[in-house]
Amino acid sequence: MFKKILIANRGEIACRVIKTARRMGIATVAVYSEADKDARHVELADEAVLLGPAPSRESYLVADKIIAACKQTGAEAVHPGYGFLSENAEFSRRVEEQGIVFIGPKHASIAAMGDKIASKELAAKAKVNTIPGYNNPIESPEKAVEIAKGIGYPVMIKASAGGGGKGLRVAWNDKEAFEGFSSCRNEARNSFGDDRVFIEKFVEEPRHIEIQVLGDGHGNCVYLWERECSIQRRHQKVIEEAPSPFLDDKTRKAMGEQAVALAKAVNYESAGTVEFVVGKDKSFYFLEMNTRLQVEHPVTECITGLDLVEQMIRVAAGQKLAFGQKDIQRNGWAMECRINAEDPFRNFLPSTGRLVKYRPPAQNMEAAQPVPDGGGVRVDTGVYEGGEIPMFYDSMIAKLIVHGRDRNEAIARMREALNGFVIRGISSNIPFQAALLAHPRFVKGDFNTGFIAEQYPKGFSIEAVPHDRPSFLLALAAISHRRIRERAATLGGQRRAHEVRIREDFVVVLSDGEGRRDQIPVGVRDAGKLYHVSIAGQTHEIGIDSPLRDIAVHGTFDGQPFCAQIERSGLGYRIQHNGSGVYARVFNPRVAQLEALMPFKAPPDLSKVLLSPMPGLLVDVAVQVGQTVRAGEKLAAIEAMKMENILFAQQDCVVDEIVANKGESLAVDQVIMKFR
């Protein structure tokens, strides 16, 4: 076994590998960029080596620097994590040539599976189901149309080197096939330097289901069941679960055996994932193989009881698998939500900055440790309260993982954990995750890869997620106000006859951005350990177990436990629960009566300015002062979290002033330019 390993990665996955290595008695070396000098993975490791400047192309993607760090520290092996150089066959080969062990598959296996066209040919030879299609590079759009007609619409046009949704189009007719081929090839050339494009049948109502495989250097290979990864937004996974609610045991076994056959065909040694697209009739076809550890590996760990990072390390050290296919268990149900630094209310634009508050829910499961009886909650993260989310890397803050006895228990546990996950200072996708978990179709397991696009065609908003008990949110606002009044009444030094008086009758006021308001009378009576709340003709018993300072508030509502987020904001209270939210102001009846007479202050007119929709780097200003701009023309480009976001003119205008300069770091809502 190795004495020291280097983790060629950052963030959550670097911390995850360190935990297993520590349990195995292996010393660890972290590498970091200048932006990550205070990162959590640097603190957790036994040693740390600076790679270079913040951009990954100057640090985490420079193979020479990582190999030099291994030699400098005496690391015998390198774990690549996921992303960066994890599926780079050339990096794997160079590491091996330097006498350093690559904790992953051999470079030949990575190369064989890294090319989508070559991997499909290999899969077909190994008798793995492949999607009907044309797997050779296509020369022209005319040829693409001819091939698409032969396969039968709809078809999928894909770049051979594509990934992350880039270089991918679906065509339903000749015109879309012609145009889709040209744009797909251009996008692939610009993004990957490889313009080879192929066409395959588009599977309707598809599910994305992947099989986890594990092979050693002694000819043994097993599959560790499947993961359901169909809940995706723009081809990026959002929620994963294991097992899949869609598969039956016969299909599960067939998919697993084909995944093992493919892994054996390339002499696969390590953990890897064979991805399939599964049709509504349970027909399944090989999609691609990921020759690395997956982001969603914890759900497999939860249901099998295996530590996949440990297995990768043991295989890399030359050990045999200690179990066969028949020994692999499948216990309970696991789910994972990817908690990302993005604003779901601004079309999921990246959100960077300081984590002013980071309070994950209570955890009783831990990476690299056995799952407790009855399951629980686990958080894998690379951040801490007060730390920075830099703009240079991906947007993941944490992975929230739960395990339950069955799917319903896992969903209930995940909803409760999301309600209790407090992140402030930056935006996160937690409200969106909570809304997905509450969706009736998700609860029934009735979804496919198009689910999010179908259910939220106009984007996500709080209004799109009505709460099943709106009076619950309003009652919490009224109770919060009463509790604050109770605390104020205990303060000393109050003038006689002017003491804070605690009332039982309140008015909850809701208003929208156009000045429309709604008044709801609410009665709140202290009944010992509970509050009796009268609202909309009904009385509820509510108990609160958390102090006023907590944002995540635990309690009971008519005897049922709950966790909701309650925060004082201005004159009101912001309440969030199960993806729904409300901003409510609470007054006594007379104040509510007078407040209704106040004039409405309309929001400012922002049509004459261009604001930055996210924090990021202003990489391009495409116009000049005095220039006439037409609606739809490019104004500027902002780079954040490895993505370039282009800002377009919403209407015809003339540029009056350019306020921000190219190369400037922008904050949210910072003015970039003004119009006249």
Looking at residue 35, what DSSP letter applies?
A: G
Instruction: Report d(CA 29, CA 37) in Å as an integer.
Output: 14
CATH, residue 234: 3.30.470.20
Q: Tokens 């179990």 label which residue?
A: 323
Q: State the pLDDT at residue 28.
A: 98
CATH, residue 81: 3.40.50.20
Q: State the pLDDT at residue 497.
A: 81
- If pLDDT is split at 50, 70 and 90, which confidence band does 499 have? confident
Whether 455 maps to a domain, the answer reads yes
> Do 118 and 245 sit in the same domain of this protein?
yes
C-alpha closest to that of 381 among 86, 39, 59, 50: 39
Tokens matching residue 454: 């179908």
Query: What are the DSSP calls for 503-540, one per residue?
Result: -SEEEEEEE-TTS-EEEEEEEEEEETTEEEEEETTEEE
| C-alpha dihedral, 250 to 256 to 262 to 265, nearest 10° | -100
Whether 640 maps to a domain, the answer reads yes
Residues with Cβ within 8 Å of 272's Cβ and at least 6 positions away in sequence, in order, are 105, 113, 212, 213, 214, 215, 263, 289, 290, 291, 292
- If pLDDT is split at 50, 70 and 90, which confidence band does 507 have? very high
- If phi > 0 it is left, if psi is from -120 to 50 it is alpha, else beta; for residue 34 that is alpha
Tokens matching residue 213: 């495989």
Q: Which is higher by pLDDT, 183 or 521?
A: 521
Contact 221, 213 (CB under 8 A): yes
- If pLDDT is split at 50, 70 and 90, which confidence band does 162 have? low
Contact 282, 129 (CB under 8 A): no
| 510 pLDDT above the threshold of 80 | yes
Whether 526 maps to a domain, the answer reads yes
Q: State the pLDDT at residue 393.
A: 87
Q: State the pLDDT at residue 166.
A: 67
Whether 600 maps to a domain, the answer reads no
Grouping H, G, I as helix, E, B as strand and the rest as coil, residue 281 is: coil
Whether 601 maps to a domain, the answer reads no
3-state secondary structure 337-366: EEEECEEHHHCCEECCEECCEEECCCCCCC
Query: What are the DSSP calls for 598-638, one per residue?
Result: SPP-PPP--TTEEE-SSSEEEEEE---TT-EE-TT-EEEEE
Taking only the tens place, the pLDDT of each residue in 565-583 is 999 998 899 999 998 889 9
Strand order, beta sheet including 27-33: 47-52, 27-33, 4-7, 77-79, 101-102
CATH, residue 196: 3.30.1490.20
| 164 pLDDT above the threshold of 60 | no
> Do 321 and 459 sit in the same domain of this protein?
no
Tokens matching residue 25: 């008695």
CA-based torsion, 179, 185, 189, 192: positive or negative: positive
- Looking at residues 158-162, what average pLDDT do you find? 77
DSSP E strand stretches across 26-131? 27-33, 47-52, 77-79, 101-102
Instruction: Report d(CA 205, CA 590) in Å as an integer.
Output: 56
Strand order, beta sheet including 609-611: 609-611, 671-675, 653-658, 628-629
Q: State the pLDDT at residue 165.
A: 61
Per the structure, the complete domain to which residue 23 belongs is given by: 4-103
Q: 264-267: long-range contacts (C-beta < 8 A, 24 or more apart)?
A: 264/126, 264/215, 264/219, 264/221, 265/122, 265/125, 265/126, 266/105, 266/108, 266/109, 266/112, 266/113, 266/122, 267/106, 267/108, 267/109, 267/215
| 437 pLDDT above the threshold of 70 | yes
- Looking at residues 21-41, what average pLDDT do you find? 96
* Residues linked to residue 365 through DSSP beta bridges, in sequence order: none
Instruction: Report d(CA 62, CA 88) in Å as an integer.
Output: 11
How many CA within 13 A on the CB side of residue 389? 32
> Do 620 and 476 sit in the same domain of this protein?
no
Looking at residue 243, what DSSP letter applies?
A: S
Taking only the tens place, the pLDDT of each residue in 103-144 is 999 999 999 998 877 898 899 999 999 888 887 888 899 999
Active-site residue flag, 288: yes
CATH, residue 614: 2.40.50.100
Instruction: Report d(CA 503, CA 587) in Å as an integer.
Output: 10
Determine the Cα angle at 49 with ends 44 and 51, to 5°: 125
CA-based torsion, 513, 345, 615, 162: positive or negative: negative
Catalytic residue among 226, 269, 288, 296: 288
Final residue before a domain boundary, out of 438, 465, 492: 465
Helix axes 89-97, 63-73, angle to 10 degrees: 30
> Do 377 and 526 sit in the same domain of this protein?
no
Whether 28 maps to a domain, the answer reads yes
- Looking at residues 171-197, what average pLDDT do you find? 86
Instruction: Report d(CA 439, CA 9) in Å as an integer.
Output: 35
Taking only the tens place, the pLDDT of each residue in 591-607 is 999 999 998 888 888 88
- If pLDDT is split at 50, 70 and 90, which confidence band does 616 have? confident
Instruction: Report d(CA 125, CA 541) in Å as an integer.
Output: 65
Contact 277, 477 (CB under 8 A): no
C-alpha closest to that of 640 among 611, 658, 666, 659: 666
C-alpha closest to that of 539 among 554, 552, 555, 527: 527
Final residue before a domain boundary, out of 465, 489, 521: 465
> Do 241 and 110 sit in the same domain of this protein?
yes
Q: Global pTM? A: 0.86
> Do 83 and 54 sit in the same domain of this protein?
yes
- If pLDDT is split at 50, 70 and 90, which confidence band does 642 have? low
| 639 pLDDT above the threshold of 90 | no
> Do 116 and 249 sit in the same domain of this protein?
yes
Whether 654 maps to a domain, the answer reads yes
Final residue before a domain boundary, out of 449, 465, 481: 465
- If pLDDT is split at 50, 70 and 90, which confidence band does 163 have? low
| End-to-end Cα, the chain, rounded Å | 69
- Looking at residues 368-383, what average pLDDT do you find? 94
Whether 587 maps to a domain, the answer reads yes
Q: Tokens 């739809």 label which residue?
A: 632
Tokens matching residue 214: 């594990």
> Do 308 and 255 sit in the same domain of this protein?
yes
Q: State the pLDDT at residue 632.
A: 84
CA-based torsion, 486, 491, 497, 498: positive or negative: negative
> How many percent of the chain have pLDDT more than 70?
99
Query: What are the DSSP calls for 118-153, one per residue?
Result: HHHHHHHHTT--B-SEE-SPP--HHHHHHHHHHH-S
Q: Which is higher by pLDDT, 576 or 645?
A: 576
> Do 281 and 391 sit in the same domain of this protein?
no
- What amino acid is encoded at 480 in this protein? S
Residues with Cβ within 8 Å of 439's Cβ and at least 6 positions away in sequence, in order, are 455
Over the chain, what is the mean pLDDT?
92
Contact 414, 434 (CB under 8 A): no
> Do 224 and 110 sit in the same domain of this protein?
yes
Q: State the pLDDT at residue 532.
A: 96
Q: 314-318: long-range contacts (C-beta < 8 A, 24 or more apart)?
A: 314/1, 315/214, 315/215, 315/216, 315/217, 315/269, 315/270, 315/271, 316/2, 316/77, 316/101, 316/102, 316/103, 316/104, 316/269, 316/270, 317/1, 317/2, 317/77, 317/101, 318/217
> Do 196 and 210 sit in the same domain of this protein?
no
Q: Which is higher by pLDDT, 58 or 601?
A: 58
Contact 535, 546 (CB under 8 A): no
Q: State the pLDDT at residue 515.
A: 81
Contact 211, 178 (CB under 8 A): no
> Do 302 and 244 sit in the same domain of this protein?
yes
CATH, residue 485: 3.30.700.30
- Give the chain's domain count: 6
Q: State the pLDDT at residue 461.
A: 81
CA-based torsion, 651, 656, 660, 661: positive or negative: positive
